[in-house]
Amino acid sequence: MTAAFKSEMAQRDRLELNKLRKLLRREVGRAIADFNMIEDGDKVMCCLSGGKDSYAMLDILLNLKKHAPISFEVIAVNLDQKQPGFPEHVLPEYLSSLGVEYYVIERDTYSIVKDKIPEGKTTCGLCSRLRRGILYDFAVEHKCTKIALGHHRDDIMETLFLNMFYGGKMRAMPPKLKSDDGRNIVIRPLAYCREKDIERYAGLREFPIIPCNLCGSQENLQRQNIKMMLQDWDKRFPGRLENMFRAVQNVLPSHLCDTRLYDFDKLERYSMEPEEFNQISVLNL
């Protein structure tokens, strides 16, 4: 590979990186505005796992913080669950290089999960519940007003279909929610961002990615099947995923079948004399 070719490739990567940064920053900014995710004076706890999504979220939020018309704090928090082989030095070194305030919480949830879950069964459910509880407590103790998670648009759509196919519910991931205990507001700034854009951005930024399978647990097979289905649709039917995501933003309860959302009992026929109906029909022609 010649020096000229290397230089040309580096230039292309720089241009692509700038394009992706602008795209992701615009989409994150739009989500923040649409759902009032971050307000003046907020202290945002950015949960960092070491994966591409949380790295990108922190990177974009720190960038937006410099140019935002409001003032807010960003801190990074990682939960070290004592998984065997977890590279404990990676995140502290990276976060120190950024100069961002960060905390590493050490809790041996790995042993708890292994003790409670039979061999061969997925550990993700219990692991995530334990993780949420620890992070929620930390946010309250450190007076964080928002907890930022790195779920993106693809995660939201996968969750929608997962609940439809296997749970009989039309339920996805809200971009903003109050935690079950009522003490925290959780936000998902990447809600409008596509996973493939985040993945490419993370590669160009050369984030020190930590593998997500250190615990030995395989990703939920049902979710993986849905991910593959959506990826296939995205390839074969351009624009389909975008339209599906728009659909979850344009819900018409009167055209669904949930009596808790729409009071079908009180629907009444408009009462009028035949002559009146004929007059209205003529006017509408």
DSSP-assigned letter for residue 206: T
The domain limits of the chain are: 7-219
The secondary structure of residue 187, as a DSSP letter, is E
Please check whether residue 139 is in contact with residue 45, taking contact to mean a CB–CB distance below 8 angstroms: yes
Asked if 230 contacts 158 with a C-beta cutoff of 8 angstroms, the reply is yes
pTM, whole model, 2 decimals?
0.87
Query: Which of the residue ranges 36-45, 86-95, 118-127, 270-279 has the most confident prediction, judged by mean pLDDT?
Result: 36-45
- Fold for the domain defined by 7-219: Rossmann fold (3.40.50)
Whether 72 contacts 39, CB under 8 Å: yes
Q: Say yes or no to pLDDT of 218 above 90.
A: no
**Is 277 a residue whose pLDDT tops 70?**
no
Residue 236 binned pLDDT confidence (cut-offs 50, 70, 90): very high
- Binding site annotation covers 257? no
**CB 98 within 8 Å of CB 62:** yes
Residue 216 reports pLDDT greater than 60: no
Can you list the alpha helix ranges (DSSP code H) found in 168-220?
A: 195-205
* 124 assigned to a ligand binding site: yes
Task: State yes or no: 144 annotated in a binding site.
Answer: no
CA 262 – CA 150 distance, rounded (Å): 33
Residue 127 has which token pair?
């692991």
Q: Do 201 and 51 meet the contact criterion of CB atoms below 8 Å apart?
A: no
CA–CA distances in Å: residue 148 to residues 61, 75, 165, 195: 10, 10, 28, 17
Encode pLDDT of 140-156 as tens digits.
999 999 999 999 999 99
Q: What is the pLDDT of residues 39-85, one digit of tens each?
A: 999 999 999 999 999 999 999 999 999 999 999 999 999 998 888 88
**Residue pair 103/138 in contact by the 8 Å Cβ criterion:** yes
Three-class secondary structure of residue 76 per DSSP: strand
